[in-house]
Amino acid sequence: MPAKPKAPAQPVAIPEIRPGQSIELLKELHILTRDGKLNQDTRRKLKQVYHLYQFIEPLLAETLADTPNFTLVDHGAGKSYLGFILYDLFCKAQAPEARIVGIETRDELVTRSRDLAQRLAFPGMEFHNLSVADSITSPLLPPQVDVVTALHACNTATDDAIRFALAKEARFIVLVPCCQAEVATVLNQHKGERLKESVLTEIWRHPIHTREFGSHLTNVLRCLQLEAHGYQLRVTELVGWEHSMKNELIIATRKGKPRREAAERLNRLLAELGLEALQSRFFTPAPTPHSV
């Protein structure tokens, strides 16, 4: 008797992948290989995706409870890695009325993301070719948004994202700051005269220390700026240092009134380190008489 034809092989379930996740999306993000498998490197990427998601998912759930049609804006979106993951894991099933907006200056990436969202049937996603600064006044975005994210937005783009979030009265802000040089440049300009005034200048006397201290100080000033505007902060690491040196995760939750003390400490810190020239970058309006 002729041999019976073999039944087509069934896809092997991958235990790490959550039920309902888009396999096509995971391939596009290079989390799955072209043949739909995980290797050691892609398994590590998937673990990092879930690690990031566990920080943001509670914020989305809290927002959803009050605002079913919430808006999340992702600045410096690149290939919109974060936006697609959030839509796939959360919005697709739990928040179909939500809107996730990717802001990116590279037109080819905006076009690519639009095409992918259409192929995946993710109707709540949209993408705009705008700078972070221009997005603050763009009519393409609503006057108020609920969540703002900026992961590895380079140089002053993180500060523009903060300004955007403050202007849009965002409930939550999630930042992973990236490379920057402005604060380090100003520290270096005044290093000689500061050495005569304070021994603390030894902290950034050597060039490598200037760069590292400038990066750390930038994020300290950002945190004070957010606190001055009434945000409560959680500052932690995103992934292990073995994966990335740009690892600081800042989660800000709006709690209401501006805080006078944080504004005063920010201005004092700028003055004590000779950074008055950067006051406009971290500008904080004077708190009202009712501020704490």
Percent of the chain's residues with pLDDT above 70: 88
How far is 150 from 78, CA to CA, in rounded Å? 10
Q: What are the residue boundaries of the structural domains of the chain, listed by start?
A: 50-278
pLDDT of 47 over the 60 cut:
yes
Which of 41-45, 123-127, 231-235 bottoms out in mean pLDDT, i.e. has the lowest? 41-45
pLDDT of 9 over the 50 cut:
no
Top-ranked range on mean pLDDT: pick from 48-57, 187-196, 242-251: 48-57
What phi and psi values does residue 106 have, to the nearest 5 degrees?
-90, 110
How far is 73 from 150, CA to CA, in rounded Å? 9
Quote the pLDDT of residue 222.
Answer: 94
Measured between alpha carbons, how far is residue 132 from residues 5, 52, 252 in Å?
58, 22, 18
Find the mean pLDDT for residues 51-76.
Answer: 95
How far is 81 from 151, CA to CA, in rounded Å? 10
pLDDT (tens digit per residue) in 237-292:
886 443 445 678 999 999 988 899 999 999 999 998 888 888 888 865 544 444 44
Q: Which two tokens stand for residue 31?
A: 């989390």
Quote the pLDDT of residue 113.
Answer: 96
Q: Which two tokens stand for residue 264?
A: 């005063």
Cα atoms in the Cβ-side hemisphere of radius 13 Å centred on 206: 3
pLDDT of 128 over the 70 cut:
yes
CA 251 to chain centre: 9
CATH topology of domain 50-278: Rossmann fold (3.40.50)
Place of tokens 């993301």: 113
How far is 196 from 203, CA to CA, in rounded Å? 14
Beta carbons within 10 angstroms of residue 262's beta carbon: 23
In this structure, which amino acid lies at residue 72?
L
pLDDT (tens digit per residue) in 146-165:
999 998 777 678 888 999 99
Question: Helices in 29-106 by DSSP H: which ranges?
Answer: 40-66, 81-86, 92-94
Confidence band, pLDDT 50/70/90 cuts, at residue 191? confident
Across the chain, what does the average pLDDT equal?
86
Quote the pLDDT of residue 4.
Answer: 56
Find the mean pLDDT for residues 186-211.
Answer: 85
Task: Report yes or no on whether pTM surpasses 0.85.
Answer: yes
pLDDT of 209 over the 70 cut:
yes
